[in-house]
A and B are shown apart, each in its own frame.
Chain A
Amino acid sequence: MILNGQDENFDLIVAAKNGDQQALSTLIEKFSEPIHSFIYSIVGDWNIVEDLAQETFLRMISAIKDYEFRAPLKSWLFRIAVNLCRDHFRRKKVRSIVSFLTYDSNEEEISIVDDKQNPLRDLEKKETLHKIEQALKSLPEYLRLVFVLRDIQELTYEEIAKTLKWRPGTVKSRLFRARKEIAKYLIQQE
Protein backbone atom coordinates (compact mmCIF):
# COMPACT_ATOMS: atom_id res chain seq x y z
CA MET A 1 0.00 0.00 0.00
CA ILE A 2 1.38 3.38 -0.99
CA LEU A 3 0.29 6.26 1.19
CA ASN A 4 0.91 9.17 -1.23
CA GLY A 5 -0.83 12.26 0.15
CA GLN A 6 -1.86 10.61 3.42
CA ASP A 7 1.45 11.30 5.16
CA GLU A 8 1.24 14.61 6.96
CA ASN A 9 4.82 15.34 5.91
CA PHE A 10 4.19 14.55 2.24
CA ASP A 11 5.31 17.94 0.84
CA LEU A 12 8.40 18.01 3.05
CA ILE A 13 9.37 14.49 2.04
CA VAL A 14 8.93 15.24 -1.67
CA ALA A 15 11.11 18.35 -1.29
CA ALA A 16 13.71 16.34 0.64
CA LYS A 17 13.68 13.65 -2.07
CA ASN A 18 14.50 16.41 -4.57
CA GLY A 19 17.52 17.40 -2.49
CA ASP A 20 16.03 20.37 -0.62
CA GLN A 21 18.39 20.84 2.34
CA GLN A 22 15.91 23.01 4.25
CA ALA A 23 13.25 20.30 4.01
CA LEU A 24 15.73 17.74 5.32
CA SER A 25 16.60 19.99 8.27
CA THR A 26 12.90 20.49 9.06
CA LEU A 27 12.31 16.73 9.03
CA ILE A 28 15.26 16.14 11.36
CA GLU A 29 14.03 18.91 13.65
CA LYS A 30 10.56 17.38 13.70
CA PHE A 31 11.58 13.82 14.49
CA SER A 32 14.70 14.30 16.60
CA GLU A 33 12.88 14.21 19.95
CA PRO A 34 10.83 11.03 19.32
CA ILE A 35 13.88 9.28 17.86
CA HIS A 36 16.13 10.28 20.78
CA SER A 37 13.49 9.27 23.31
CA PHE A 38 12.82 5.97 21.52
CA ILE A 39 16.52 5.06 21.39
CA TYR A 40 16.97 6.01 25.04
CA SER A 41 14.01 3.82 26.06
CA ILE A 42 15.48 0.87 24.16
CA VAL A 43 19.19 1.07 24.97
CA GLY A 44 18.90 2.86 28.33
CA ASP A 45 22.29 4.48 27.90
CA TRP A 46 22.47 8.26 27.66
CA ASN A 47 26.04 8.19 26.35
CA ILE A 48 25.23 6.59 23.03
CA VAL A 49 21.73 7.95 22.36
CA GLU A 50 22.95 10.93 20.34
CA ASP A 51 25.33 8.80 18.25
CA LEU A 52 22.58 6.36 17.33
CA ALA A 53 20.08 9.17 16.64
CA GLN A 54 22.68 10.88 14.46
CA GLU A 55 23.26 7.69 12.50
CA THR A 56 19.48 7.22 12.09
CA PHE A 57 19.14 10.62 10.42
CA LEU A 58 22.27 10.16 8.31
CA ARG A 59 20.75 6.95 6.97
CA MET A 60 17.49 8.79 6.38
CA ILE A 61 19.30 11.44 4.33
CA SER A 62 21.13 8.90 2.20
CA ALA A 63 18.05 6.72 1.62
CA ILE A 64 15.25 9.28 1.33
CA LYS A 65 15.47 9.18 -2.47
CA ASP A 66 14.37 5.54 -2.32
CA TYR A 67 11.54 6.17 0.19
CA GLU A 68 8.30 5.07 -1.46
CA PHE A 69 5.59 6.15 1.04
CA ARG A 70 4.76 2.52 1.83
CA ALA A 71 4.69 3.39 5.54
CA PRO A 72 4.55 6.74 7.37
CA LEU A 73 7.95 8.42 7.58
CA LYS A 74 7.84 8.09 11.38
CA SER A 75 7.51 4.29 11.16
CA TRP A 76 10.27 4.20 8.56
CA LEU A 77 12.58 6.19 10.87
CA PHE A 78 11.72 3.99 13.84
CA ARG A 79 12.55 0.96 11.69
CA ILE A 80 16.02 2.41 10.98
CA ALA A 81 16.47 3.16 14.70
CA VAL A 82 15.37 -0.37 15.67
CA ASN A 83 18.00 -1.85 13.33
CA LEU A 84 20.68 0.44 14.76
CA CYS A 85 19.72 -0.48 18.33
CA ARG A 86 19.95 -4.17 17.41
CA ASP A 87 23.39 -3.61 15.88
CA HIS A 88 24.41 -1.83 19.08
CA PHE A 89 23.24 -4.77 21.22
CA ARG A 90 25.12 -7.20 18.97
CA ARG A 91 28.34 -5.14 19.25
CA LYS A 92 27.83 -4.83 23.02
CA LYS A 93 27.40 -8.60 23.29
CA VAL A 94 30.65 -9.20 21.37
CA ARG A 95 32.43 -6.61 23.53
CA SER A 96 31.17 -8.24 26.73
CA ILE A 97 32.42 -11.65 25.53
CA VAL A 98 35.80 -10.14 24.64
CA SER A 99 36.06 -8.29 27.95
CA PHE A 100 35.09 -11.48 29.78
CA LEU A 101 37.89 -13.36 28.00
CA THR A 102 40.41 -10.61 28.71
CA TYR A 103 39.11 -9.84 32.20
CA ASP A 104 41.63 -8.36 34.56
CA SER A 105 40.57 -8.58 38.20
CA ASN A 106 42.69 -5.54 39.07
CA GLU A 107 40.70 -3.32 36.77
CA GLU A 108 38.08 -1.22 38.42
CA GLU A 109 34.60 -1.86 37.12
CA ILE A 110 33.20 1.15 35.30
CA SER A 111 29.48 1.62 34.91
CA ILE A 112 28.50 2.69 31.39
CA VAL A 113 25.37 4.45 32.57
CA ASP A 114 26.12 7.54 34.58
CA ASP A 115 22.86 8.47 36.27
CA LYS A 116 24.20 11.82 37.45
CA GLN A 117 24.78 12.93 33.85
CA ASN A 118 21.34 11.84 32.70
CA PRO A 119 19.32 14.96 31.93
CA LEU A 120 16.12 12.95 32.10
CA ARG A 121 16.69 12.67 35.85
CA ASP A 122 16.69 16.44 36.14
CA LEU A 123 13.78 16.77 33.80
CA GLU A 124 11.49 14.23 35.41
CA LYS A 125 12.25 13.11 38.95
CA LYS A 126 9.03 11.32 39.58
CA GLU A 127 9.54 7.94 41.15
CA THR A 128 6.99 6.19 38.97
CA LEU A 129 8.84 7.18 35.85
CA HIS A 130 12.09 5.89 37.24
CA LYS A 131 10.39 2.63 38.17
CA ILE A 132 8.92 2.31 34.67
CA GLU A 133 12.38 2.85 33.22
CA GLN A 134 13.78 0.14 35.46
CA ALA A 135 10.90 -2.16 34.56
CA LEU A 136 11.58 -1.49 30.88
CA LYS A 137 15.19 -2.53 31.30
CA SER A 138 14.04 -5.81 32.81
CA LEU A 139 12.00 -6.67 29.71
CA PRO A 140 13.34 -8.74 26.81
CA GLU A 141 14.13 -6.64 23.72
CA TYR A 142 11.05 -7.58 21.65
CA LEU A 143 8.65 -6.72 24.49
CA ARG A 144 10.48 -3.47 25.21
CA LEU A 145 10.24 -2.45 21.55
CA VAL A 146 6.51 -2.95 21.32
CA PHE A 147 5.84 -1.25 24.66
CA VAL A 148 7.96 1.81 23.80
CA LEU A 149 6.41 2.19 20.35
CA ARG A 150 2.84 1.96 21.66
CA ASP A 151 2.81 3.43 25.14
CA ILE A 152 5.61 5.98 24.88
CA GLN A 153 5.74 6.91 21.20
CA GLU A 154 1.99 6.32 20.76
CA LEU A 155 2.18 4.67 17.35
CA THR A 156 -0.92 2.85 16.13
CA TYR A 157 -0.99 -0.96 16.07
CA GLU A 158 -0.77 -0.86 12.29
CA GLU A 159 2.26 1.44 12.38
CA ILE A 160 3.99 -0.81 14.93
CA ALA A 161 3.26 -3.86 12.76
CA LYS A 162 4.91 -2.10 9.80
CA THR A 163 7.85 -0.86 11.86
CA LEU A 164 8.67 -4.21 13.41
CA LYS A 165 7.42 -6.31 10.48
CA TRP A 166 5.12 -8.30 12.75
CA ARG A 167 1.49 -9.28 12.24
CA PRO A 168 -1.04 -6.99 14.02
CA GLY A 169 -2.12 -9.94 16.17
CA THR A 170 1.47 -10.50 17.30
CA VAL A 171 1.79 -6.80 18.15
CA LYS A 172 -1.30 -6.98 20.38
CA SER A 173 -0.36 -10.16 22.18
CA ARG A 174 3.22 -9.02 22.81
CA LEU A 175 2.04 -5.61 23.96
CA PHE A 176 -0.33 -7.28 26.39
CA ARG A 177 2.55 -9.40 27.73
CA ALA A 178 4.87 -6.40 27.99
CA ARG A 179 2.32 -4.37 29.98
CA LYS A 180 1.61 -7.32 32.24
CA GLU A 181 5.33 -7.91 32.88
CA ILE A 182 5.91 -4.24 33.72
CA ALA A 183 2.88 -4.21 36.02
CA LYS A 184 4.14 -7.34 37.78
CA TYR A 185 7.59 -5.78 38.14
CA LEU A 186 6.10 -2.66 39.69
CA ILE A 187 3.94 -4.65 42.10
CA GLN A 188 7.03 -6.61 43.20
CA GLN A 189 8.89 -3.35 43.81
CA GLU A 190 6.18 -1.99 46.12
Chain B
Amino acid sequence: MKKLLFKLYDSVRNRFFHNAASRHLPENGDIKKIDEQIVLIKKHAVKLKKYPVSPFFTQKVMNLARTRQKEDVWVNLQIIPTPAVKFAFLTLLVIILFLFIPFNNYDNVQDTASPDPITILYNVDSLNYEIKSDDQALQFALVN
Protein backbone atom coordinates (compact mmCIF):
# COMPACT_ATOMS: atom_id res chain seq x y z
CA MET B 1 0.00 0.00 0.00
CA LYS B 2 2.82 2.39 0.99
CA LYS B 3 4.67 1.57 -2.24
CA LEU B 4 1.54 2.27 -4.23
CA LEU B 5 1.07 5.61 -2.47
CA PHE B 6 4.66 6.62 -3.21
CA LYS B 7 4.21 5.77 -6.87
CA LEU B 8 0.98 7.72 -6.83
CA TYR B 9 2.51 10.85 -5.31
CA ASP B 10 5.61 10.68 -7.49
CA SER B 11 3.51 10.59 -10.64
CA VAL B 12 1.18 13.47 -9.91
CA ARG B 13 1.87 14.92 -13.31
CA ASN B 14 1.29 11.58 -15.02
CA ARG B 15 -2.51 11.67 -15.08
CA PHE B 16 -2.92 8.16 -16.54
CA PHE B 17 -0.95 6.45 -13.77
CA HIS B 18 -2.45 8.73 -11.16
CA ASN B 19 -6.02 7.79 -12.10
CA ALA B 20 -5.13 4.09 -12.29
CA ALA B 21 -3.41 4.15 -8.88
CA SER B 22 -6.19 6.20 -7.25
CA ARG B 23 -8.71 3.47 -8.06
CA HIS B 24 -6.81 1.11 -5.73
CA LEU B 25 -7.07 3.41 -2.73
CA PRO B 26 -9.52 2.27 -0.03
CA GLU B 27 -12.85 4.03 0.08
CA ASN B 28 -12.22 5.17 3.66
CA GLY B 29 -13.13 8.86 3.88
CA ASP B 30 -10.22 10.02 6.09
CA ILE B 31 -7.58 8.29 3.99
CA LYS B 32 -9.13 9.70 0.82
CA LYS B 33 -9.05 13.20 2.31
CA ILE B 34 -5.42 12.92 3.39
CA ASP B 35 -4.54 11.50 -0.01
CA GLU B 36 -6.26 14.38 -1.79
CA GLN B 37 -4.40 16.87 0.38
CA ILE B 38 -1.04 15.22 -0.33
CA VAL B 39 -1.70 15.33 -4.07
CA LEU B 40 -2.62 19.01 -3.70
CA ILE B 41 0.57 19.69 -1.71
CA LYS B 42 2.65 17.88 -4.33
CA LYS B 43 1.09 19.98 -7.06
CA HIS B 44 1.68 23.31 -5.34
CA ALA B 45 4.89 22.76 -3.38
CA VAL B 46 7.01 22.83 -6.56
CA LYS B 47 6.00 26.47 -6.95
CA LEU B 48 8.00 27.24 -3.81
CA LYS B 49 11.05 26.42 -5.90
CA LYS B 50 10.88 29.91 -7.39
CA TYR B 51 12.90 32.48 -5.52
CA PRO B 52 13.81 36.02 -6.56
CA VAL B 53 17.60 35.99 -6.37
CA SER B 54 19.38 39.34 -6.39
CA PRO B 55 20.84 40.03 -9.90
CA PHE B 56 24.22 40.88 -8.36
CA PHE B 57 24.39 37.78 -6.19
CA THR B 58 27.00 35.90 -8.25
CA GLN B 59 29.23 38.96 -8.54
CA LYS B 60 28.94 39.58 -4.81
CA VAL B 61 29.95 35.99 -3.98
CA MET B 62 32.90 36.07 -6.39
CA ASN B 63 34.16 39.37 -4.93
CA LEU B 64 33.81 38.04 -1.39
CA ALA B 65 35.67 34.86 -2.35
CA ARG B 66 38.56 36.93 -3.74
CA THR B 67 38.72 39.03 -0.55
CA ARG B 68 38.66 35.94 1.65
CA GLN B 69 41.34 34.25 -0.42
CA LYS B 70 43.71 37.16 0.16
CA GLU B 71 43.09 36.94 3.89
CA ASP B 72 43.51 33.19 4.00
CA VAL B 73 46.85 32.22 5.54
CA TRP B 74 46.70 28.76 4.02
CA VAL B 75 46.97 30.17 0.54
CA ASN B 76 50.58 31.01 1.32
CA LEU B 77 51.13 27.36 2.20
CA GLN B 78 49.71 25.94 -1.02
CA ILE B 79 52.80 23.82 -1.57
CA ILE B 80 51.59 21.69 1.34
CA PRO B 81 48.86 19.48 -0.12
CA THR B 82 46.31 18.44 2.50
CA PRO B 83 44.91 20.07 5.67
CA ALA B 84 46.25 17.16 7.75
CA VAL B 85 49.80 17.75 6.49
CA LYS B 86 49.40 21.49 7.06
CA PHE B 87 48.30 20.81 10.61
CA ALA B 88 51.20 18.41 11.20
CA PHE B 89 53.63 20.99 9.79
CA LEU B 90 52.37 23.70 12.13
CA THR B 91 52.38 21.36 15.15
CA LEU B 92 55.99 20.40 14.39
CA LEU B 93 56.91 24.07 14.14
CA VAL B 94 55.37 24.79 17.55
CA ILE B 95 57.13 21.77 19.13
CA ILE B 96 60.49 22.86 17.74
CA LEU B 97 59.96 26.36 19.13
CA PHE B 98 59.10 25.00 22.56
CA LEU B 99 62.13 22.69 22.57
CA PHE B 100 64.58 25.41 21.60
CA ILE B 101 63.41 28.14 23.93
CA PRO B 102 64.97 26.51 27.09
CA PHE B 103 68.41 26.28 25.40
CA ASN B 104 68.42 29.90 24.42
CA ASN B 105 66.88 31.49 27.45
CA TYR B 106 68.25 34.35 29.62
CA ASP B 107 69.35 32.08 32.52
CA ASN B 108 71.78 30.22 30.31
CA VAL B 109 73.30 33.48 29.16
CA GLN B 110 73.70 34.70 32.75
CA ASP B 111 75.45 31.49 33.84
CA THR B 112 78.29 32.04 31.40
CA ALA B 113 81.07 33.89 33.32
CA SER B 114 82.28 36.90 31.43
CA PRO B 115 86.09 37.19 31.18
CA ASP B 116 87.90 39.99 33.05
CA PRO B 117 89.58 42.83 31.09
CA ILE B 118 93.09 41.36 31.51
CA THR B 119 92.02 38.10 29.93
CA ILE B 120 90.46 40.03 27.05
CA LEU B 121 93.53 42.29 26.56
CA TYR B 122 96.37 39.84 27.05
CA ASN B 123 94.67 36.54 26.41
CA VAL B 124 95.79 35.45 29.94
CA ASP B 125 93.58 34.57 32.85
CA SER B 126 95.36 36.81 35.40
CA LEU B 127 93.64 35.48 38.50
CA ASN B 128 94.46 31.86 37.77
CA TYR B 129 97.89 32.42 36.30
CA GLU B 130 100.44 30.47 38.35
CA ILE B 131 104.08 31.64 38.30
CA LYS B 132 106.36 28.69 38.76
CA SER B 133 109.79 30.00 37.81
CA ASP B 134 111.85 33.22 37.70
CA ASP B 135 111.60 33.25 33.89
CA GLN B 136 107.83 33.15 34.13
CA ALA B 137 107.88 35.96 36.72
CA LEU B 138 110.05 38.07 34.40
CA GLN B 139 107.85 37.34 31.42
CA PHE B 140 104.71 38.23 33.40
CA ALA B 141 106.31 41.48 34.57
CA LEU B 142 107.30 42.39 31.02
CA VAL B 143 103.87 41.60 29.60
CA ASN B 144 101.85 43.31 32.30
Contact = CB atoms under 8 A, between A and B. Distances in A.
Interface of A: 21, 24-25, 28-29, 32-34, 36-37, 40-41, 49-50, 53-54, 57-58, 61-62, 119-120, 123-124, 126, 128-129, 132-133, 135, 147, 151-154, 172, 176, 179-180, 182-184, 186-187
Contacts, number: 106
A128 B37 contact: no
B64 A151 contact: no
A97 to B, nearest CB: 31
Contacts of A29: 58
Interface residues of B, number: 30
B106 interface: no
Contacts of A124: 47-48, 50
A2 B34 CA distance: 40
Contact of B53 (A21, A33, A147, A172): A33
Given A37-B48, A54-B64, A187-B33, A179 B41 contact: yes
Contacts of B48: 37, 40-41, 120, 124, 129, 132-133, 152
A33 B6 contact: no
Contacts of B52: 119-120, 123
Nearest to A56: B61
Interface in B8-55: 9, 33-34, 37-38, 40-42, 44-54
18 contacts: A28-B58, A32-B53, A33-B51, A34-B49, A37-B50, A37-B51, A40-B48, A50-B57, A58-B65, A58-B68, A126-B44, A129-B48, A151-B45, A180-B34, A180-B38, A182-B38, A183-B34, A183-B38
B58 A151 contact: no
Nearest to A147: B45
A115 to B, nearest CB: 15
Contacts of B64: 54, 58
B60 interface: yes
A187 B47 CA distance: 20
B2 interface: yes
Contact of A123 (B33, B50, B61, B68): B50
Contacts of A62: 65, 68
Interface string B80-123: 00000000000000000000000000000000000000000000
A99 to B, nearest CB: 29
Nearest to A24: B62
Contact of A176 (B2, B45, B61): B2
A129 B57 contact: no
